[in-house]
Structure 1
């Protein structure tokens, strides 16, 4: 849209189905590059991406030409197809339904980038579930426990 200007910073958190620890160190950097390509092909700006074997964080400069749901559908569908096509997992890879998405002001971006970049250190003290629930509480988001990311079985 001509003459539409925006500054929207969105932090996404999403996980493999059943939060299984399927993202391996040997290919996680390639996965993050692939997801960055998906995001940027849709005209958004990847600011930071990182995670753990059981979840991914990404911070993007979001353009208002696409819905959040459509972007996540593209990211999950395209990246799971890439993971499966490269046979990185012993079984079929799927992302868990849903995600967390949180908005930040420009002044908060540097701290959030640092937070995302230091995921491995951060998770020495905190589980993914504890982290995710802390975001929901921080942003005062009401939630139903039945729909929180399923724990590994």
Structure 2
């Protein structure tokens, strides 16, 4: 087979440093737009970005030439710089160390997209910590 084909959907989640609720509604779309552009610059098209004041979810296609770790590291670094440079948050902004990233089957992309789009509704019922722990259990991972 002379060609290589890849289509790897990733659902990534990361939080603000110390899980502080820093991302206000007034600036979240500007932050999400910047992050989306950063993903595009790495040839990782974004399907959806959404979140809460203390964390975000992204659904994107992974560029097969890049590792998830490198993509997320670049996104978090450039977006922290953007937020601070543009004074979008009153205090110095940083993301928490680490992230969660899960592969998403093509057959459930729409379900994950709907889940991410409806973050505000989900978090009326559960905290970010509860949500995060549920994902770790679902994927058989430990929260160490």
Coarse TM-score class (shorter-chain normalised):
over 0.9
RMSD: 1.0
Q: 1:91 offset after TM fit, Å? A: 1.6
1:136: which partner in 2? 136
Deviates more, 1:33-42 or 1:59-68: 59-68
2:17: which partner in 1? 17
Q: 1:129 offset after TM fit, Å? A: 0.2
Q: Distance in 2 between matches of 1:21 and 1:112?
A: 23
1:148: which partner in 2? none
Residue 104 of structure 1 pairs with residue 100 of structure 2: no
Q: 1:3 offset after TM fit, Å? A: 3.1
Q: 1:46 offset after TM fit, Å? A: 0.1
Residue 75 of structure 1 pairs with residue 75 of structure 2: yes
Unaligned runs of 5+ in 2: none
**2:66 counterpart SS class:** coil
Deviates more, 1:74-83 or 1:135-144: 135-144
Q: Distance in 2 between matches of 1:63 and 1:3?
A: 16
Q: Distance in 2 between matches of 1:24 and 1:76?
A: 17
1:47-66 aligned at under 5 Å gives the runs 47-66=47-66
Q: Deviations over 1:71-96 (max 9, x none)?
A: 01110111000000111222210000
**1:79 counterpart SS class:** helix
1:147: which partner in 2? none
Q: Distance in 2 between matches of 1:96 and 1:143?
A: 15
TM-score by length of 2: 0.96
Runs of 4+ residues over 3 Å off in structure 1:
none
